[in-house]
Amino acid sequence: MKLLYRRCAGLDVHKRSVTACVRVRAAGSKQTRVETAVFATFTEDLQQLREWLRRHKVKQVAMESTGVYWMPVWNVLERSQRKFELLLVNPQQVRALPGRKTDQQDCERIAELMQYGLLRGSFIPPPPVREWRDLTRVGLQHDRNRVINRIGRLLETVNVKLGSVVSNIVGKTGTLILKQIAEGVTNPERLAELAQGSLQQRKQDLAVALKGYVSDHFRWLLRQLLSDLAALDEKLAKLDTRISDAVQPHADLIRRLCTIPGVDRLTAWTLLAELGTDMSVFPSAGHAASWSGICPGNCESAGKRQTGRTRKGNRYLRRMLIQNAWAVAHKKDCFLSALFYRVASRRGMKRAAMAVAHRILIIAFHVIRDGTVYREVGGDYYDRLCPERTARRLTQRLERMGFGVTLTRRDTAEQAAAPGARRGRPCKCAERGLTCTHTNTGLARPLRQPPADPAQCPRCARWGIACIHARSQKTDPNF
């Protein structure tokens, strides 16, 4: 096996200790010298580790990802003037064989695999992006949702069915009613008068739903939960301001990301915090989707596909994109919603949400890398992509229902003037500034007609040339 590095180091990181191994092979020699040492994980001890690596003239360093305990080591080595080439490795790649696992053997194995180039590093963004991650991963919104759910359960315990009439119990109307109940107001009709907006038409339903058995104990618990909710709202407002200030230099990029259907400001922040702004770390958009864990997995043996379950990826980015996929399914005349229902008809709703989340990430990758914006192609994109197939599918569906169908193509001028008329199958001639060579009129292509010569294929007949696909026929009957 070819030797990639003559000098490298492997680190086995724990909470209280770091076991380091340096492998050195001199030029023209076949013997490898191995040296090991153990350091504590306090900052001064890690600085001694850095000096120990510098004395051995090591530049390539690999370490195993162990919870958050690798971060102190990474912080010290990252700030070194020597500029170590650090590699954070997934523990599954360096798993030891049973019965052959000690701290020293672990670091020696990591160093040996590193020396021969058998390790793949994890994506570690630069420090500014890591700071964005700390802000977007706080989880205050989840804490707020838990408090809201507790308020809903508390109301149910005293027969107050506010959630059965109001979709958001902490909205404008719900907040006014809850505050009045916490202050001691129990008259349902008086509480129903606080309805705002469209809920003013449902005052009678509100009065019925607010009849319950309210006690002093309930009001005390409600006041505590409302206080927690107000504190979380204040923290969320401060957090939004902090994130907005941190990503202000990329305001134009965030604006372009928000042109994607279903992507709002929070999603754009999450995309930048998890992916960063430099897409060169991913070879392609498919690699970024695989790293995020929103693409099908591969598990095949003996020519049989066992499962296509997705792998574990970036759970923060994956969760956000899945939520956006469910939201975009409700949009009208949108390509992503058309993709959702196209996949859902064959594979189900959950796989459709995963497919849409995958497509959103692919689009965001190109928006960040190429500096472009999202261009909507319409909810009928797949119908225009192959109109013959769409017409054939709908015709067969009507025939199964017992209808006789006769299709007639409208005149091209009439079709172009029809309301909501769109271009036929999309091509890139207009984007390139060329005259469209795919159709004579630039509109939708006509339905396929069977060729006059049965020996000629439909494609060559449409092109008006001699068939180049038909197989040569032998005249010898004994052939």
Q: Kindly give the pairing relationship between strand 7-13 and strand 60-64.
A: parallel
Closest to 353 (Cα-Cα) out of 387, 329, 317, 374? 329
What's the pLDDT band for 452 if we cut at 50, 70, 90?
A: low
Evaluate if residue 444 carries a pLDDT over 90.
no
Tell me the pLDDT of the chain averaged across its residues.
Answer: 85
Question: Cα separation of 47 and 247, whole Å?
Answer: 32
Give me the pLDDT at residue 411, please.
65
Domain range annotation of the chain: 7-122, 140-246, 250-299+306-370
Evaluate if residue 61 carries a pLDDT over 90.
yes
Give the DSSP letter string of 345-400: HHH-HHHHHHHHHHHHHHHHHHHHHH--------TTHHHHH-HHHHHHHHHHHHHH
Evaluate if residue 446 carries a pLDDT over 50.
no
Give the DSSP letter string of 102-151: -HHHHHHHHHHHHHTT---B-----HHHHHHHHHHTS-HHHHHHHHHHHH
**pLDDT single digits (tens) 139-171:** 899 999 999 999 999 999 999 999 999 989 999
Q: Which of 21-25, 134-138, 451-455 has the lowest mean pLDDT?
A: 451-455
Give me the pLDDT at residue 442, please.
36
3-state SS, residue 86: strand
Closest to 111 (Cα-Cα) out of 29, 14, 36, 17? 36
Give the DSSP letter string of 231-289: HHHHHHHHHHHHHHHHTGGGHHHHHHHTTSTT--HHHHHHHHHHH-S-GGGSSSHHHHH
Residue with tokens 């960040």: 368
At position 180, the amino acid (one-letter code) is: Q
Number of neighbouring beta carbons within 10 Å of residue 114: 25
What's the pLDDT band for 475 if we cut at 50, 70, 90?
A: very low
Residue with tokens 């590093």: 121
Q: What percent of the chain has pLDDT over 90?
A: 57
Write the DSSP symbol of residue 94.
G
Question: Cα separation of 261 and 465, whole Å?
Answer: 44
Arithmetic mean of pLDDT, 111-125? 90
Question: Cα separation of 188 and 209, whole Å?
Answer: 8
What pTM value is reported for the model?
0.77
Arithmetic mean of pLDDT, 116-137? 90
Give me the pLDDT at residue 464, please.
67
Question: Cα separation of 272 and 133, whole Å?
Answer: 9
Within 13 A of 264's CA, how many CA atoms are on the CB side? 7
CATH for 7-122 (3.30.420.10, 3.90.1150.10, 3.30.930.10, 3.10.20.600): 3.30.420.10
Q: Which of 37-41, 71-75, 284-288, 379-383 has the lowest mean pLDDT?
A: 379-383
Distance from the first to the final alpha carbon of the chain: 54
Question: Cα separation of 86 and 90, whole Å?
Answer: 13
Give me the pLDDT at residue 295, please.
86
Token pair recorded at residue 465? 């040339």
What's the pLDDT band for 94 if we cut at 50, 70, 90?
A: confident
Burial class (CB in 10 A: 0-12, 13-18, 19+), 211: middle
Q: Which of 1-10, 33-42, 307-316, 460-469 has the lowest mean pLDDT?
A: 460-469
Contact between residue 276 and residue 317 where contact means Cβ atoms under 8 Å apart: no
Question: Cα separation of 376 and 373, whole Å?
Answer: 10
Give me the pLDDT at residue 421, please.
52
The torsion angles phi and psi of 254, rounded to 5 degrees, stand at: -65, -40
**pLDDT single digits (tens) 335-384:** 999 999 999 999 999 999 999 999 999 999 999 999 989 999 888 888 88
Residue with tokens 């793949």: 120
Residue predicted with more confidence, 451 or 409? 409
Evaluate if residue 287 carries a pLDDT over 80.
yes
